[in-house]
Structure 1
């Protein structure tokens, strides 16, 4: 199955029927049947509203030049910071289960929303995105997106209710920067719901068959956006070596998981002593990698660790590949996040009460919900989805064993953009947990790892 996200965001008119009118922003692939939605011009959506040239200049729309890719490194840093901030907030809200989401997808969605925001609302969005000091942020994101399309699929669709007055500049910029073409909703909620869910199902290759269970009749705007990635290991794992093994949840409990194995795997990895973690890079074919971050102590705070690693510029420490004995659990994740509370904690509470979306329309709009969906399968073939530093190297045959809670990043290597981010605390949550039996030392690096009495010897 494919890693794909469904990131939903609702814009609503708070004065209509005394409630919010959901507008959903989702992350999907383009439909295989383009007739699912009728592309329309601004004139068909209602009386188009114009934007003044002064307003355009004030909002930085005079940045018509293309930005070279080499000048967009700040975008990668910003996306990683947003990912770490969201991980921290979601951990506080949801506890310590598995997490999987796309910082890239969420960044693109919030940036698209910022395109339709003004004054303090726009400032708050750009600050949360960590791009408030980036000149021409929409142009920078467009450059990055165009580069990433060599590796993954990024697409968007903008649905609007007939008669909803949208400013032409927002429609033009939505397509220019984020590739979101406008299409009309029929006004029949049941028919529109079927069209949207069919689009989503086709876009995600059937992985998200039902994005919405209901669509309020008063909906005014719906934006669907998709990021999809499929990666194959540069060095595959042998399925014949995959077998049940022990995963150590903490200092007390274990669970049985399907563990992929390689006795001699060409792996680039190192130990960061200041953060007390091991970091390894498993390359995919092409220009992407699966970066695994293994804390030496399972109870380490994942979000703080990710922030510390970003500041330590850990990407610059990867050594040459060396023969390594590897164990990695197979993963199959389906994850849904309601991000409203997390975004409120990041300073975006105004989105849900009294934002300024005048670049979209003169009427009042608010965000009614923010949701994110993601799916991932990690198997022998690959993956489908999306202070001072001391570095230690080891000369003897090394072992990299993902048999306790770990973080991972699926990244594009040229830009360092984190496409997907995951925190795995239990790869097999449906299996019964058992009490841990013993500890022992494994590998030529002298590091201590929890292990059972029947653990395979290197």
Structure 2
């Protein structure tokens, strides 16, 4: 069901953020609009272009559905870029589609655009949070610490990464910032781990025109020519004011939330050639669909759905997009992270987890991104390990490898 491409467009356009319905239906709902600075508009374009780049790479897999938050991934990698300089910094800027923006302008745009999105709708229920966890005992570069605090409002803390509870600390933080939706995201902390840069986002919104639950019935959804499945289809009783356009075989519409300041954009290929449309789609074309859409009275039917999709590692996808050096043991990687580190550093994993539920009332979605930085050799110093389980043992000669004695201990308290 790659027809779920509309999910991408409600994310990449920054068009979907939650809003709670008022207890007073007649209360005025006025969005907090202001003029965006030039570099903020560049940030919007950068995030959207990055979203489209990433979508093209991810959709090459076998899964018929796809859901992710390019905004979350973009935020996490934007924080990460500040640990670098020179050519490696430029590599981040290019892959993140910042174009000719300076590092300072990119950071300023990230900060101010996030603040705008969080405050634009008085009925919005949304959270965007960043955190950085670094190996206990290491000295974080104060310039880097200040940068991520000032521009990304990042919580920064040291962490005993040798502790079995290290992953739980990060997982609990993510869970708390996503309204309990994204759980147990980080599966383990490798011995070489030196830093985690994390973004979490949660939004929940009510439709401006809610679908009556009694109208939801099983109806066919066409997955291809002559192929269909049964789904729960929601329907409005009457026509609703929805921006709508049709250009050739492409239908575009925007289903509004709350004040209408945020909406879910939907792009449909009527001749089942959505993959071809996506492969050729440009930001200019997408903006054209938006600008050409006009308000129409639409008696809308829309499928009800819920899905969660986790990308265990975006490494290969990001390398394909051009972010290569950070994943290699390059001596200049992360030169701005710590005051002193013995050995090189590199990106190990970029993990992403996303959830969405669309029902008669509205939409709830959450996502998180984890960027894992490791040293290319395990940091020096003692480690703790307790042999407290049954074990096999050998007494052997080193040169020949001959085993002289062999045994097993299942209960050391029992003497022979």
**TM-score over 0.5 for the alignment?**
yes
Structure 2 residue 292 is matched with structure 1 residue 317: yes
2:46 is matched with which residue: 74, 78, 86? 78
SS in 2 for 1:313: helix
Select 1:374's aligned residue among 351, 354, 372.
354
Shift of 1:188: 4.3
SS of structure 1 residue aligned to 2:282: helix
Matched-pair contact (CA < 8 Å) for 1:123–1:132: no
SS at match of 2:322: helix
Task: Give the C-alpha shift of residue 144 in structure 1.
Answer: 0.2
1:376 alignment partner, SS class:
strand
Match of 2:258 among 285, 309, 315: 285
Quote the residue 2:167 is aligned against. Answer: 193
- Structure 1 residue 342 and structure 2 residue 317: aligned? yes
Does the CA contact (< 8 Å) of 1:229 and 1:384 recur in 2? yes
| DSSP 3-state at the match of 2:253 | strand
Matches within 5 A, 1:408-427: none
Superposed CA offset, 1:163-201 (max 9, x none): 223211000101011111211213442122222222222
What's the counterpart of residue 279 of structure 2?
304
1:128 maps to what in 2? 95
What is the CA-CA distance between 1:357 and the residue it aligns to?
1.3
Structure 2 unaligned regions, length at least 5: 1-6, 8-33, 367-416
- Could you say which structure has the greater relative contact order, defined with CA pairs below 8 angstroms and 6 or more residues apart? 1
For the pair 1:214 / 2:223, whether they are aligned, the reply is: no
Q: CA deviation at 1:134?
A: 2.2
Runs (4 or more) in structure 1 with deviation over 6 Å come to: none
Aligned to 1:412: none
Closer/same/farther in 2, CA of residues 317 and 189 from structure 1, 3 Å limit? same
Q: How is 1:349-388 mapped onto 2 (pairs within 5 angstroms)? A: 349-353=324-328, 354=330, 356-361=333-338, 362-363=340-341, 364-385=344-365
Name 1:397's counterpart in structure 2: none
Query: Which residue in the other structure is 1:148 paired with?
Result: 117
Q: Is the 8 A contact 1:263 1:324 kept in 2?
A: no
Distance in 2 (alpha carbons) for counterparts of 1:305 and 1:328: 26
Aligned equivalent of 1:111: 78
Alpha-carbon distance between aligned partners in 2 of 1:223 and 1:159, rounded to the nearest angstrom: 7
**Does the CA contact (< 8 Å) of 2:179 and 2:202 recur in 1?**
no
Tell me, in whole angstroms, the C-alpha distance in 1 between the residues paired with 2:56 and 2:219. Answer: 30
Q: How far off its partner does 1:78 sit?
A: 1.4
Give yes or no for contact 1:119–1:356 (8 Å, CA) kept in 2.
Answer: no
Matched residues in 2 for 1:197 and 1:371: separation? 12
Q: Give the SS at the match of 2:188.
A: coil
C-alpha separation in 2, matches of 1:351 and 1:304? 27
Q: TM-score, normalised by structure 1?
A: 0.65
Q: State whether residues 267 and 281 of structure 1, in contact with CA within 8 Å, keep that contact through their aligned partners in structure 2.
A: no
Q: How far did 1:312 drift?
A: 5.0
**1:253 corresponds to which residue?**
227
TM-score, scaled to structure 2: 0.72
Gaps of 5+ in 1: 4-66, 387-458
Matched residues in 2 for 1:68 and 1:324: separation? 31
| 1:266 paired residue number | 240
Instruction: Work out which of the two has the higher radius of gyration on C-alpha atoms and give 1 or 2.
Output: 2
